[in-house]
Structure 1
Amino acid sequence: MIALSEVEKTIKGFAQLGLTIEAAHWLVKVYELEQENFSHFELTEKAEPSFILLTTNGVIGSKQVIKLPANTFEFPLFLMLNLLAHEMLHVKQKSEKYKVEDKNEREFQAYYENLFHKEFPLVPELSPFQQKAFGNKALEYYNRMEEGSYLQKKYAEQKEEVVQLISEI
């Protein structure tokens, strides 16, 4: 694994050259986020610090495109890596093999991944502030699942892990 200081230096170099897409591809490789269902990255307008949006676009069962802000790497690297991992999990969820149809389930799984890094263990941990924010988003999506539904029962243990993590912060 490459030292974090080297990763940050490399990403700054890409960013200075305006090579956002190339930087994202490089991070996908370094942090082992590759998914066979991934098609490519596209840039969107610049993000504001208060609202950074990456999206995964494509029909479930087909190749997926991740859209990222043109200034993605002006923001903290740990946060952007976690957002990239979040979207790559969506790519996997939307593959022919996994087909996670329910948006609430997809989002709960992705926010849970941002907290516990089970799918992508090389991705660094978020700051406590970001963990709390992402944990609350996970709970929001859990609560959007139908009360007492199969999905809520399926994720009850993971929900409790999220609640425990938030309470410890």
Structure 2
Amino acid sequence: MISFENIELTIKTFHKHGLTKEAALWLLKVYELEHPNFTGFEFREAAKPDFILMTAEGEIGGKQIIRIPENTFEFPLVLMLNLLAHEMMHVKQKAPGVAMQDKNEREWQAYYEMLFHKEFPLIPKASVHHQKFFAEKAMIYYNRSEKEANPLRVKYENQKLEIEELIKSLG
């Protein structure tokens, strides 16, 4: 694998030349995020330091695009990699044969992935600040499921305990 410093340098070069989509596609290859249900990147409004929005869009069971800000690579690369992994989880979840309908479950799984990188093990850990944020978001989606004997709560109980332990360890 290419060193993180070289990956960062390559991304800065792509960004300098206005090749944001190409940079993102290259990262999908380098970090083994590719999926056959993904059809490409499209741009959305510019991100701000306190609000960076990426979305996977397309019908559940159909092909997906990911909308990214044109200024994606003006922000820390580790954070952008985690956001890309989150959206690629949605691409997988919406693929034919999976077609996960429940948005709370999709978001729960995607935020869990941002914390533990089980689907995409090459993605680096985010900062403690962002890990806390991702953990809080995961718990919001977990808590939206009904409390009593909900199959999703039972299915993800062990992952919930992992997140609670992580939150404690982060302080």
Alignment TM-score > 0.5, same fold:
yes
> Equivalent residues in 2 for 1:83-122 (5 A)?
83-122=83-122
- RMSD across aligned positions (CA): 0.6
- Report sequence identity in percent: 59
- Superposition deviation, residue 45 in structure 1: 1.4
The one-letter code of the counterpart of 2:109 is Q
Q: Following TM superposition, where does structure 1 have runs of at least 4 consecutive aligned residues deviating by more than 3 angstroms? A: none
| 2:54 is aligned with 1:66 | no
The one-letter code of the counterpart of 2:73 is F
Tell me how far apart the structure 2 counterparts of residues 100 and 164 of structure 1 sit (CA, whole Å): 27
Q: What SS does the aligned partner of 2:111 have?
A: helix
Tell me how far apart the structure 1 counterparts of residues 23 and 43 of structure 2 sit (CA, whole Å): 12
- C-alpha distance after superposition, 1:100-148 (max 9, x if no partner): 1100000000000000000000000111111111001000100011113
> Equivalent residues in 2 for 1:30-69 (5 A)?
30-69=30-69
Provide the TM-score with structure 2 as the length reference: 0.98
Q: Paired residue for 2:169? A: 168
List alignment gaps of at least 5 residues for structure 2.
none
- Superposition deviation, residue 11 in structure 1: 0.2
- C-alpha distance after superposition, 1:65-84 (max 9, x if no partner): 10000000000000000000
Q: Paired residue for 2:158? A: 157
Q: What SS does the aligned partner of 2:65 have?
A: strand
- Stretch moving more, 146-155 or 69-78: 146-155
Q: Paired residue for 1:79? A: 79
Q: What SS does the aligned partner of 1:40 have?
A: strand
Q: Paired residue for 2:21? A: 21
Q: What SS does the aligned partner of 2:41 have?
A: strand
> Equivalent residues in 2 for 1:129-148 (5 A)?
129-148=129-148
Tell me how far apart the structure 2 counterparts of residues 120 and 78 of structure 1 sit (CA, whole Å): 13
Tell me how far apart the structure 2 counterparts of residues 30 and 126 of structure 1 sit (CA, whole Å): 18
Tell me how far apart the structure 1 counterparts of residues 145 and 76 of structure 2 sit (CA, whole Å): 31
Tell me how far apart the structure 1 counterparts of residues 37 and 31 of structure 2 sit (CA, whole Å): 17
List alignment gaps of at least 5 residues for structure 1.
none
| 2:126 is aligned with 1:126 | yes
Provide the TM-score with structure 1 as the length reference: 0.99
Q: What SS does the aligned partner of 1:13 have?
A: helix
